[in-house]
Amino acid sequence: MTRLALIAHDEEKPEMIDLVRTYEDLLATFDLVGTGTTGQRITDETSLTVERKKSGPVGGDLMIGAETAENRLDGVIFLRDPLTAQPHEPDISALLRICDVHDTPLATTRSSAEFLLQGLARRTTE
């Protein structure tokens, strides 16, 4: 089964919810994992189930990085706020590096997330 990680900075959480609602039928066929707050919001506001790691500020992003290092993820969507991210929010640099090392696609914007989801959908139907 396709396994996808979902992370969003505070200001991007509404965009993540909108993205997830748009692709809810597809995402229902995936095994989803997310950081604590993002995963909780998705679970509360959709019909999807998300395996929740710790919140980003206390290591959830690193837990997702560990899954990437173990080749347990098919992709990561990390909607980040490059202009007003707060110091307590997860930093993307370590996650970006581990995704690059393991050739795991990482999307950081709505547009790139949609391309990632379309690619994963195409892969699951082949």
Task: Give the catalytic positions in this structure.
Answer: 61
55 marked as part of a ligand binding site: yes
35 marked as part of a ligand binding site: yes
119 marked as part of a ligand binding site: no
Which string of b and e fits 72-109 if b means at least 16 CB within 10 Å? ebbbbbbbbeeeebeeebbebeebeebbeeeebbbbbe
102 marked as part of a ligand binding site: no
13 marked as part of a ligand binding site: yes
Task: Identify whether the C-beta of residue 48 lies closer than 8 Å to the C-beta of residue 24.
Answer: yes
36 marked as part of a ligand binding site: yes
Secondary structure (DSSP) of 70-103: TT--SEEEEE--TTT--TTSPPHHHHHHHHHHTT
* Positions at the binding site for substrate: 9, 13, 35-38, 55-56, 88
* Positions at the binding site: 9, 13, 35-38, 55-56, 88
